[in-house]
Amino acid sequence: MSKDSVTVPSFHPAVAPDVTKQPRMSWLLGHRPAVRVAVQDVLSAIVAYVVGSILLCIGGAHGIIPVWISVSLISAYIVCWGTVYVLVRSGWSQRLADPHLTFVRVFIDLGAMTLAHALVPIVRGATLQLLCAMMAFYMGRLNQRQILGTSFMAVCLMLATLLGLWLTQPEHITLSVEILNLVMCSVLLPIAGFVGGEVYRIYQRSAAQRDQLQLTLTQLNHLSTRDSLTDLANRRHMLTLLDEEIRRQRRNGQTFCIGLLDIDLFKLVNDTHGHPVGDQVLKGFANLATRSIGAADTLARWGGEEFLLLLPVDNLDQAHDALTQLHEAVRRHDWTQYAPDLQLTFSAGLAEHDQHEPLDALLERADRALYRAKQLGRDRTELAIPATSHTDDVPMPSFEPAAPRPCPDAPPPRTSTRIAHPAWAAPTLDDAPPSNTGWLYNLSTIVMGHHLDMRDRVRLMLAAMLGFGFWVITLHLYAIPQGLMPAELGYFMIAYMVLSTLGCYALIRSGVTRAWRDPQIAQGQLINACLIGVVCYLHAPALRAVLLQSMCVVLIFGMVSLRPRQTRVVGITAIALMMGVLLWQLALPPANINLTSEGMKVALACFIFLQISVFSYNASRLRSLMLRERGVLTKAVETVQDLLVHDTLTGLYNRTHLMSLLERERQRAICSQRPFCVAMIDLDHFKRINDSHGHQVGDAVLIEFAQLSRDVLRDIDVMGRWGGEEFLVILPDTEPGPQCLMGPERLRERFASHTLPGHPGVHMSFSCGVADFRPDDTLAHTLQRADQALYAAKNAGRNRCMLAH
């Protein structure tokens, strides 16, 4: 991204999109963008029910599920989701606070799972997986509290279903297995809820960051195209507009004119009334001119007290009428509101662009016409010599301001824009380290570390350790004693989980993995967890439901810990492992397995794994996009801050930032009794350089002076552009008296002996006034003393430095 400008996307009329074209699949999704987004969200949820209905049909066809149950459940799905679709597709839901009907869909999901759990025994093991898939789907849509509330509601419904089955059909359930399923559900779902809270924060931060990026780019575009004092277009932006006008003229032949305006005797205004009054006069002139010109005309601050007016008119007479009106408006305006007895006029040079004329030549003709207006007495507009003429001696008519024409309506002047502090840059409660609260703080520091990145990595590792820890306790205290898993395999798995988990924690906490591509070792840990789950699935049939739910939770962890490519690797690995389980079971004797039942279970598990992997991939992509946008936003903020404090031409500090630095230096001088001085510098005869050699040479002089000041002045000295050809230097730790003249004198001698590259005939020098700051004085008075010393140096013959009294 360039510091100088921001490219704003635009459409050429020839390739502009056809707004009359109907959006695709409008019969299904609707026409309104908000309705289409909501309908797409609903349809993405219906996909799971379509797959579930297919499995119910297969189960009914093979006698695994009673037909009446399959028909009843499918009918209930159609009625509920058909109603939701109609409400969303019709746009009725847009009047609600939740146009996607998220909570209605959550209740439908919970009700469907509860019915399936109660009526379909083969689905009971998959209910836990479906709950995980449902939570993964709503992550980003619900915050952590809402997800935990949904989890609590799901556990309560499962408990109620278990009690109902135990009271009505105790012979159809294995109580120990159902209790284990319920306990694991009550533990694993909150862990998934923790991950859901992280995902929701990612979505919220991404949305806030995207809004901040848009705001910052808008501010950057404003600052890079507007003058900070007058809020007119700046010189850079005006050059862009002039290039566009030239291309338009070559395309359709429509001509345009430019007027180069210069406020008469503005230097005298600054010298007599001070720079603050001069700034108010410039802003007043800019506001008055903006109201006076036509809506299609564009006024820009060209430099100092010079302005350039772009007039896309048909002929030179219309352009002259516009300047005549502006002359009259300036004459009638009450300038005494800024200073007593103040009167203001301006001179202008007007030029019409020839179709084959370069921009530099057009600007030079307007500049010469302006110079001629100054020589002929000011307060007038002079026409430039036509581009086809090659002599400067041809007398051109001059125009005195005539009667004004009616002023067209124009928009009010723009107000300046201030950069907002990015919300993402400030630490949030989740990002900030814990406050010092005694032993709790010390314990959290020992476990998680000080650095924020380290704490984020360890926090997710601790959540994973909680899940493994609960499995260790469950195997040791329940599964192995109840005979749900072989003892040898159970204790081997306990040892393996403890060692692998502690080993990963040690690597992460020690910082060894900080430089790794995957500092959380997330991909390896998740694949390892899936492998553990598959091994236990093969040897502990009674634990298959909770094992599959655990694998779902493992895949959910990928939402906040994996890169997009890694989520695909882990998802494919989990699905491949389940397919391997099915192949392993096919190799067993047929008497030991119901292929249809096991095939449906594996197919459902693979579909749920695929769904969660897709959700995880989308969340990972969002995190990656957010990181990239954060980089863009950081650069944009830096550029905005640079534009706020630096002058765009010289790269020195601008006047606004200089005032803040002066205030800081004043406070330091008062508190620490450390002296400082200020030097006010004005380039001698700079107006003559502009008039004789053109503004491009004048800009080169300013840039060259800024570079010399960096080379000559001390590192602690602060140089800034005060306005036009005036500069201010802050000289810290400088005693009053002859010492404060040493730095400015070195710079003056170097500048006077320096030759502008490519322009040996340009003579350069400056005058300078230096004043020391006194603790009992104000900054305004100190600057006034320096300005008076500068004025004395000018009267004494220029090219010298003088000390204020």
Say which DSSP state 432 is in: S
Residue (of 328, 327, 332) closest to 350 by Cα position: 327
Q: How many C-beta atoms surround the C-beta of residue 670 within 10 A?
A: 12
- Residue from 477, 476, 480 nearest 494 by CA: 476
Angle of CA points 676, 678, 682, to nearest 5°? 165
Integer Cα distance of 649 and 256 in angstroms: 27
List, in order, residues 6 or more apart from 52 with CB less than 8 Å away.
Answer: 77, 116
Quick check: is 305 catalytic?
yes
* Residue 289 main-chain phi, psi, to 5 deg: -65, -40
Q: What is the spatial order of strands in the sheet that 718-723 belongs to?
A: 718-723, 726-732, 676-683, 766-772, 801-803
Angle subtended at Cα 526 by Cα 48 and Cα 623, rounded to the nearest 5 degrees: 70
Q: What angle do CA 680, 650, 725 make, to 5 degrees?
A: 40
CA nearest neighbour of 264 among 301, 293, 307: 307
User: Using CA atoms, how far apart are residues 225 and 640, in angstroms rounded to an integer?
Assistant: 12
Residue 418 phi, psi dihedral angles, 5° rounding: -105, 140
Please state the φ and ψ torsions of residue 349, each to the nearest 5 degrees. -115, 125
Selecting among 198, 245, 305, 725, the annotated active-site residue is 305
What residues have CB less than 8 Å from 231, skipping those under 6 apart? 286, 413, 414, 415, 416
∠ at Cα 86 (84, 87), nearest 5°? 65
Query: And the tokens for 79?
Result: 């009625």
**591-597-600-601 Cα dihedral, nearest 10 degrees:** -90
Check: CB of residue 301 under 8 Å from CB of residue 237: no
What's 59-124 look like in SS3? HHHCCCCCHHHHHHHHHHHHHHHHHHHHHHHCCHHHHCCCCCCHHHHHHHHHHHHHHHHHHCHHHH
| Contact (CB, 8 A) for 292 and 329 | yes
Q: Which residues pair with 730 in a beta bridge?
A: 678, 718
d(Cα 99, Cα 624) in Å, to the nearest integer? 28
Please state whether beta strands 801-803 and 766-772 pair in parallel, antiparallel, or not at all (unpaired). Answer: parallel
Please give the backbone phi and psi of residue 432, each rounded to the nearest 5 degrees, phi first. -75, 145
Strand ranges inside 193-286, DSSP E:
257-263
Neighbours of 62 (CB within 10 A): 13
Interhelix angle for 779-795 vs 655-672, to 10°?
Answer: 110
Instruction: Order the strands of the 381-383 sheet from edge to edge.
Output: 298-303, 306-311, 257-263, 346-352, 381-383, 398-399
Q: How far apart are CA 130 and CA 545, in angstroms?
A: 11
Structure tokens, 618: 């989308």
- The DSSP bridge partners found for residue 729 are 679, 719
SS3 of residue 328 by DSSP: helix
- Contacts of residue 182, defined as CB under 8 A and 6 or more positions apart, other chains included, come to 155, 158, 159, 162
As a whole number of Å, the CA-based R_g of the chain is: 38
Positions annotated as catalytic residues are: 305
